[in-house]
């Protein structure tokens, strides 16, 4: 019983860190949330979830993390942005996260992409369009990760009652 409570507390912390990781660029949010589910599953003797469900959720976590890296690049290319816009977006997210949390991440992504395009991609005739493309891709990745983490958290919460 004590080990179950410790697993629930530790798993809850990891799932919550996963949600933070959906917004903070360097933390793999969905993978952390999935790890919280694995912690609970281990404590429950792997009887809480079917192996198929764990495989599907693990693939969803990995895929959303991968797509989070792909969406800004695809959106930026579609909008005519260069590498400077993408790197500016990531830099802006980090600066925004540090100095203006939590909205600074979103605003920083846009302003960083715009700054990157204006300063380093001078041949781009429409840096605002490019910045909006990078920004849209970044937001799409964040939303996808939040959805996956929410689904994982739902399974996590529904299983706590089975353990107590």
Output the CA–CA distances (angstroms, integers) from residue 83 to 8, 92, 106, 142, in the order listed.
Answer: 42, 14, 19, 20
Tokens 């800004």 identify what position? 72
Check residue 91 and give its pLDDT.
Answer: 87
pLDDT, tens only, 128-138: 888 888 788 88
CA–CA dist 62, 132 (Å, integer): 26
Question: Cα–Cα–Cα angle for 148, 153, 154, nearest 5°?
Answer: 100
- Residues 6+ away with beta carbon under 8 Å from 154: none
Residue 44 has pLDDT above 90, yes or no: no
Residue 65 has pLDDT above 90, yes or no: yes
Output the CA–CA distances (angstroms, integers) from residue 17 to 84, 129, 155, in the order listed.
Answer: 29, 33, 16
pLDDT, mean over the chain? 88
Comparing 126 with 59, which gets the higher pLDDT? 59
**Percent of the chain as helix, strand, coil, to the nearest 5:** 85, 0, 15
Check residue 51 and give its pLDDT.
Answer: 94
């Amino acid at each position: 019983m004590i080990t179950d409570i410790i697993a629930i507390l530790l798993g809850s912390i990891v799932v919550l860190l996963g949600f933070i990781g959906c917004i903070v660029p360097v933390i793999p949010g969905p993978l952390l949330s999935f790890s919280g589910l694995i912690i609970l599953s281990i404590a429950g003797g792997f009887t809480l979830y079917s192996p198929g469900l764990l495989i599907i959720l693990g693939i969803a976590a990995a895929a959303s993390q991968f797509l989070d890296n792909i969406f800004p690049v695809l959106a930026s290319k579609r909008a005519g942005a260069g590498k400077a816009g993408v790197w500016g977006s990531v830099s802006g997210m980090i600066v925004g996260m540090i100095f203006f949390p939590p909205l600074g991440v979103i605003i920083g992504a846009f302003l960083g992409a715009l700054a990157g395009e204006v300063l380093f991609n001078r041949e781009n005739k429409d840096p605002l369009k490019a910045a909006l493309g990078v920004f849209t891709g970044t937001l799409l990745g964040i939303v996808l990760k939040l959805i996956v983490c929410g689904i994982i958290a739902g399974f996590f919460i529904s299983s706590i009652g089975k353990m107590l």
